[in-house]
């Protein structure tokens, strides 16, 4: 049985649609409505379609391709968070717990369940990019006290590597890439303030030079969408006040301060747009554990060496325990600050300090891309994923120290000092395993809808209904161009093509409500509108996921039946071969398609951009291969 991750915004391709994919960018998608510009998402859509076409050319079906993409993203998410923990010199068990928290928090689960493929891929790659970025910044500002050994060639090589990583991240989600750049700048400022750096001016200049080279790499590898976008910049959706007004920010600020602080997605667990749930009190433990990590970093605050031990002497027996290395200490302080910044921004225009977000949205160039403030959950997620395991480790160490010191006292004659020395490693490790086990039990309790089967979307993969495949076959066989109108909106597995573009009721009737649609269908203007729009088939979807026909966020089949009834009364002929899916035919229609000259020019520019982008990739990769080096250590 074929089942697919196609919920929400998740992609789905029939074999005929994969076959029609091009190796070149497609500026205008004539399979959607009256022709829909793909420029706003061409940075993701074009690489994605090339990968899908290449894998299909290799003999893989969409059933296999989407599993490779989604499950591969989960693997990258776990591995990236684990590598970041190891890069920060955290033990393997702590790094593993870091990966679990980062990959299974409510924000990660919601973007996967909603089918946000680009955002989820960017979220998964985010820790990998941080490893490279932090490594270069720390190496430049802290470890390289003399820059003579760090040559110009080293700078160019590292800049190209970071630039290519950021380029891939930009292809997945530009917003995550911007957040990554902001984290890098924030981390640079943090190190300059907290650490004493020699020759700071030369080091900062080297960082600026490296950032410039990396930005040049990003621009050169993204020419395929930048060139055509420059021509239509004035017509961009970003110029629409509906998208750029502060009212949109207030509308999309679903998370309040308590949700953001607790790393609780506002739509958890049903993931229904606009439905915000009350705070679940068990999530308050998450920020308490995370910010408690600050209580354990003073022990090595003023140490200058890279690690060591603290010695205790009780009853002439010396006891030694490791203290936190400074690099880890500074990262704990940094990620605590980063988590706080993420919490304050993730709530958007909500109080407290909601006016700051609105001001940033109105005055900071490019901040308009963060109309949905929940994107800042990424900062809190990575911070909490590192801080919570650190806190558990330090609690275990503190308990073990007190226990072992108590064993060294003279009155504990049954054990003696030798017993303490023997178990000095077993005790803290055992305690940490116990605390980790308890935390995992608690963590599973917080995300229990995942195990109880209460999560929807991609957590409940769907099979293609027989009538949807039958409808697809009918449209493929129909060589007469016409549009299909899905009322009120398209369902997952809806077929579209250049021959039969898909038009939704929300587009044709300007987001009319359910009752508004019913009233519109009852008017004589309805048949005239669909005929002029070139609509031959009117389809009322099955609503596979029970997310279309809703009344107070609950599925109401009566709404669908009413819609079918008024369509039957409008004079349209219902096709008897479809029983579950209501398909009506409009015999009188006039199909037209307009192709502007600007679209042809944009496609020419995009093709030139593809060649330039490929050349840039080959050039950068050639240099990296010729100067091979191990990164992220």
- Could you report the per-residue pLDDT of 76-130, keeping only the tens digit for each? 999 999 999 999 888 898 899 999 999 999 999 999 999 999 999 999 999 999 9
Calculate mean pLDDT across residues 246-275.
Answer: 89
DSSP state of 353: S
pLDDT class for 322, splitting at 50, 70, 90? very low
CA distance 505 to 535: 11
Of 233, 227, 235, 281, give the one whose Cα is nearest residue 258: 281
Q: Do strands 582-585 and 573-574 pair parallel, antiparallel, or not at all (unpaired)?
A: antiparallel
User: Helix or strand or coil: residue 371?
Assistant: coil
Please state, in angstroms and as integers, the Cα–Cα distance from residue 217 to each residue in 210, 483, 509, following that order.
11, 42, 44
Query: Any idea which residue has 């949109």 for tokens?
Result: 248
- Express the helix, strand and coil content of the chain in percent, nearest 5 each: 60, 5, 30
Q: Is the pLDDT of residue 277 over 90?
A: no
Q: Work out the pLDDT band at 317, boundaries 50, 70, 90.
A: very low
Which pLDDT score, from 0 to 100, does residue 496 have?
A: 94
pLDDT at 595: 67
Rounded CA separation 288/125 (Å): 27
Cβ atoms < 10 Å from Cβ of 306 = 10
Which residue pairs, CB below 8 angstroms and at least 24 apart, start in 364-373? 366/178, 368/238, 368/243, 368/244, 369/174, 369/175, 369/178, 370/175, 370/345, 371/243, 371/248, 371/249, 371/252, 372/252, 373/249, 373/252, 373/253, 373/255, 373/345, 373/346, 373/347, 373/348, 373/349
Q: Residue 106: count other Cβ atoms within 10 Å of its Cβ.
A: 26
With vertex at residue 273, the alpha carbon angle to CA 270 and CA 276, rounded to the nearest 5 degrees, is 65
b (16+ CB within 10 A) / e for 485-506? bbbbebbbbbbbbebbbbbbbb
Mean pLDDT in residue range 167-182: 96
Q: What are phi and psi of 494, to 5 degrees?
A: -70, 135
The reported pLDDT for the residue numbered 156 is: 87
> What confidence score (pLDDT) does residue 51 get?
96
CA distance readout (Å), 548 to 11, 117, 317, 506, 540: 18, 21, 72, 12, 10
424: confidence class by pLDDT, cuts 50, 70, 90: low
The predicted pLDDT at position 313 comes to: 36
Distance CA 319, CA 18 (A): 67
Instruction: Pull the structure tokens for residue 238.
Output: 């970003």
| SS3 state at 493 | coil
Among candidates 59, 9, 31, 62, which has minimal Cα distance to 464? 62
pLDDT of 326 over the 60 cut: no
- Reference 260, options 174, 383, 172; nearest CA is 383
Q: Is the pLDDT of residue 257 over 90?
A: yes
37 has which bridge partners? 28
- Which of 136-150, 240-254, 368-382, 619-633 is the least confident region? 136-150
- Taking the CA of residue 369 as centre, how many other CA atoms within 13 Å lie in the half-sphere pointing to its CB? 15
Q: What is the pLDDT of residue 314?
A: 34
Does 571 have pLDDT greater than 60?
yes
CA-based radius of gyration for the chain: 29
Rounded Cα gap, residues 113 and 545, in angstroms: 12
Q: What is the mean pLDDT of the chain?
A: 86
Q: Is pLDDT of 231 > 80? A: no
504-517: pLDDT as tens digits: 998 888 878 888 88
Confidence of residue 433 (pLDDT cuts 50, 70, 90): confident
Whether residue 40 contacts residue 235, with contact meaning beta carbons closer than 8 Å, is answered with no
Are 328 and 373 in contact by the 8 Å Cβ rule? The answer is no
Cβ atoms of 187 and 137 within 8 Å: the answer is: yes
Cα distance between residue 313 and residue 323, in whole Å: 16
Q: Which of 275-289, 323-337, 418-432 has the lowest mean pLDDT?
A: 418-432
pLDDT of 323 strictly over 70: no
Q: What does the pLDDT read at residue 139?
A: 84
Residue 372, by phi and psi: left (phi above 0), alpha (psi -120 to 50) or beta? beta
Q: Is the pLDDT of residue 456 over 80?
A: yes
DSSP alpha helix (H) spans, 273-376: 285-291, 326-346, 354-363
Whether the CB-CB separation of 33 and 502 falls below 8 Å is answered with yes
Band (pLDDT 50/70/90 cuts) for residue 592 is confident
Model confidence at 3: pLDDT above 90? no
- Structure confidence at residue 300 (pLDDT): 42
Query: Three-state DSSP class for 420?
Result: helix
Residues 553 and 165: their CA atoms lie apart, in Å, by 41
- When comparing pLDDT for 174 and 632, which is higher? 174
Percent of the chain scored above 70 by pLDDT?
85
* pLDDT on residue 306: 41
Quick one: how far is CA 188 from the chain centroid? 24
Which pLDDT value is given to residue 309? 40
Give the pLDDT mean for 357-374: 90
**Which of residues 298 and 7 earns the better pLDDT score?**
7
pLDDT winner (highest mean) among 59-63, 147-151, 394-398? 59-63
Helices 117-138 and 106-113 cross at an angle (nearest 10°) of 140
pLDDT of residue 429: 74
Q: How far is CA 239 from CA 94, 175, 235, 243, 510, in A?
A: 46, 18, 7, 8, 20
Is the model's pLDDT at 416 over the cut of 50? no
pLDDT band with cut points at 50, 70 and 90 for residue 140? confident
Length, in residues, of the chain? 633
**In which band, very low, low, confident or very high, does the pLDDT at 233 lie, cut at 50, 70 and 90?**
low
Q: What pLDDT score does 423 carry?
A: 56
Q: Is pLDDT above 70 for 353?
A: yes
Closest CA to 77 of 435, 378, 441, 390: 378
242-256, 482-496, 550-564: which has the minimum mean pLDDT?
242-256
Would you say the pTM of this structure is higher than 0.95?
no
Helices vs strands, H then E, count in the chain? 26, 11
Q: In the chain, pLDDT over 90 holds for what percent of residues?
A: 58
> Which range, of 40-44, 151-155, 411-415, averages the lowest pLDDT?
411-415
DSSP-derived 3-state class of residue 495: coil
Average pLDDT over residues 289-293: 95
């Amino acid at each position: 049985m074929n089942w697919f991750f196609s919920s929400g915004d998740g992609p789905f391709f029939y074999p005929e649609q994969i076959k029609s994919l091009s190796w070149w960018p497609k500026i205008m998608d004539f399979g959607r409505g009256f022709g829909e510009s793909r420029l706003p998402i061409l940075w993701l859509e074009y690489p994605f379609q090339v990968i899908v076409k290449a894998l299909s050319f290799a003999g893989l079906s969409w059933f296999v391709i989407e599993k490779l993409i989604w499950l591969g993203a989960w693997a990258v998410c776990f591995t990236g968070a684990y590598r970041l923990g190891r890069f920060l010199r955290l033990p393997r068990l702590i790094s593993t717990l870091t990966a679990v928290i980062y990959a299974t928090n409510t924000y990660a689960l919601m973007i996967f369940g909603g089918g946000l493929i680009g955002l989820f891929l960017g979220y998964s790659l985010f820790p990998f990019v941080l490893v490279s970025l932090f490594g270069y910044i720390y190496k430049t500002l802290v470890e390289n006290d003399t820059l003579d050994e760090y040559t110009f060639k080293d700078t160019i090589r590292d800049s190209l590597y970071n630039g290519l990583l950021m380029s891939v991240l930009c292809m997945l989600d530009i917003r995550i890439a911007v957040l990554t750049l902001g984290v890098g700048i924030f981390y640079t400022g943090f190190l300059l303030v907290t650490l004493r750096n020699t020759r700071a001016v030369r080091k900062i200049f080297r960082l600026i030079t490296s950032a410039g080279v990396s930005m040049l790499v990003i621009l050169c590898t993204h020419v395929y969408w930048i060139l055509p976008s420059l021509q239509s910049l004035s017509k961009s959706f970003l110029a629409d006040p509906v998208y750029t007004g502060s009212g949109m920010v207030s509308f999309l600020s679903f998370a309040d301060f308590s949700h953001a602080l607790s790393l609780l997605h506002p739509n958890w667990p049903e993931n229904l747009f606009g439905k915000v749930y009350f705070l679940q009190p068990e999530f308050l433990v998450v920020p308490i554990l995370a910010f408690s990590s600050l209580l354990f970093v003073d022990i090595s605050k003023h140490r200058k060496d890279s690690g060591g031990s603290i010695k205790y002497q009780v009853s002439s027996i010396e006891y030694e325990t490791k203290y936190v290395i400074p690099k880890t200490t500074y990262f704990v302080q940094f990620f605590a600050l980063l988590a706080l910044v993420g919490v304050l921004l993730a709530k958007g225009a909500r109080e407290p300090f909601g006016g700051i977000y609105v001001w940033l949205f109105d005055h900071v160039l490019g901040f308009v891309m963060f109309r949905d403030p929940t994107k800042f959950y990424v900062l809190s997620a990575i911070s909490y994923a590192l801080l919570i395991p650190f806190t558990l480790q330090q609690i275990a160490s503190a308990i073990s120290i007190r226990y072992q010191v108590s064993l060294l006292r003279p009155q504990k004659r049954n054990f003696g000092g030798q017993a303490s020395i023997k178990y000095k490693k077993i005790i803290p490790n055992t305690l940490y395993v116990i605390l980790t086990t308890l935390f995992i039990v608690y963590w599973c309790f917080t995300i229990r809808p995942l195990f109880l089967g209460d999560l929807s979307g991609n957590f409940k993969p769907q099979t293609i209904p027989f009538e949807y495949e039958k409808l697809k076959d009918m449209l493929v066989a129909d060589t007469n161009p016409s549009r299909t109108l899905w009322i009120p909106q398209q369902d997952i597995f809806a077929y579209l093509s250049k021959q039969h573009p898909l038009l939704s009721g929300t587009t044709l009737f300007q987001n009319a409500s359910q009752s508004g649609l019913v009233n519109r269908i009852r008017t004589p203007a309805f048949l005239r509108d669909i005929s002029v729009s070139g609509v031959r088939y009117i389809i009322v979807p099955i609503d596979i996921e029970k997310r279309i026909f809703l009344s107070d966020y609950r599925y109401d089949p009566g709404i669908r039946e009413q819609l079918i009834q008024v369509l039957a009364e409008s004079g349209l002929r219902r096709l008897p071969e479809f029983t579950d899916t209501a398909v009506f035919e409009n015999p009188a229609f006039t199909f037209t398609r307009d192709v502007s000259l600007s679209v042809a020019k944009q496609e020419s520019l995009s093709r030139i951009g593809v060649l330039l982008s490929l050349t840039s990739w080959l050039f950068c990769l050639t240099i990296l291969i010729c100067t091979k080096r191990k990164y992220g250590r």
